[in-house]
Amino acid sequence: MARDGKKINTIAFVTYPGLTLLDLVGPLSAFYGLDWPQVRPEAHWQTVSVGDRVEVIDTDTPMRLIPEKTFDEVPHPFGIIVPGGGAAALEAMTNDAIVDYVRTAAETAEVVGSVSTGAFILAAAGLLDGRQATTHPAYGELLKKLGANYVRRNWVEDGRFISAAGVSGGIDMALYLLARLKNKPIAKRTQTVIEYDPDPPFGGIEQNGGADGNGLAATVVEHQAKLKRALAERPHLHQKLFG
């Protein structure tokens, strides 16, 4: 509750070591217009990054980050967004602090979202059983094994749950959410402010031969092997993923 008596709706970005920085910063920046007061002024809106501890963590780039708050400090956010992280996201599936937070926060959240392999953390929390969800296309088959109804799309919504395939999918998804939570003009204005007018110089991904065509399949196999070892003490997840 803010000083003016209004409710504060918080969108929490869940951080963990090794996350893909752009999966977090893309949607975070697209939420730029969330607190413009002209629309739905009955509440304040804010974003916050949350982590197990408020300390420096590595990302997939040389840049590191410090989450602003601990999980305990933001127990009931309006929404949570879990960024991807390749092998690091799969590893996070075995981290109780992260998975427990996501499960608990999701119970009361009105928006539960993921970007790329962040979907695996939602799945590990048991949130995607039978739900339509997407992830990085290279990981689609693996997500199915966790009970999700994987669809290959830029982003997909299923009730309170929404997932994006990655990077630009995360921005697209956030602009859509902005239109849903505020309105479409705000979403469009945000798109103009952040000058999101994409034109990839070598075309889209389909035209590039897809994930396997670019040799990503080998990377996924390598990540799966790591995950298999990491899940040795999690027979339930191990059984689901590797039979």
Contacts with its own copies, residue ranges (CB under 8 A): 20-22, 25-26, 28-29, 32, 46-49, 60-66, 68, 116, 136-137, 154, 165-169, 171-172, 175-176, 179, 184-185, 187-189, 191-202, 204-206, 208-211, 214-216
Closest CA to 135 of 71, 175, 83, 185: 83
Nearer to its own copies, 8 or 100 (CB): 8
Nearer to its own copies, 100 or 222 (CB): 222
Nearer to its own copies, 108 or 192 (CB): 192
**DSSP codes joined into one string, 160-206:** TEEEESSHHHHHHHHHHHHHHHS-HHHHHHHHHHTT-----TT--SG
Q: How far is the CB of 96 from its own copies (least distance, A)?
A: 25
Q: How far is the CB of 77 from its own copies (least distance, A)?
A: 13
DSSP letter at 23 equals H
Structure tokens at 20: 């893909």
Nearer to its own copies, 113 or 137 (CB): 137
> Can you state the angle between helices 21-30 and 167-181, rounded to 10 degrees?
30
The Cα 15–Cα 1 span in angstroms is 25
Q: How far is the CB of 92 from its own copies (least distance, A)?
A: 18
Q: How far is the CB of 236 from its own copies (least distance, A)?
A: 29
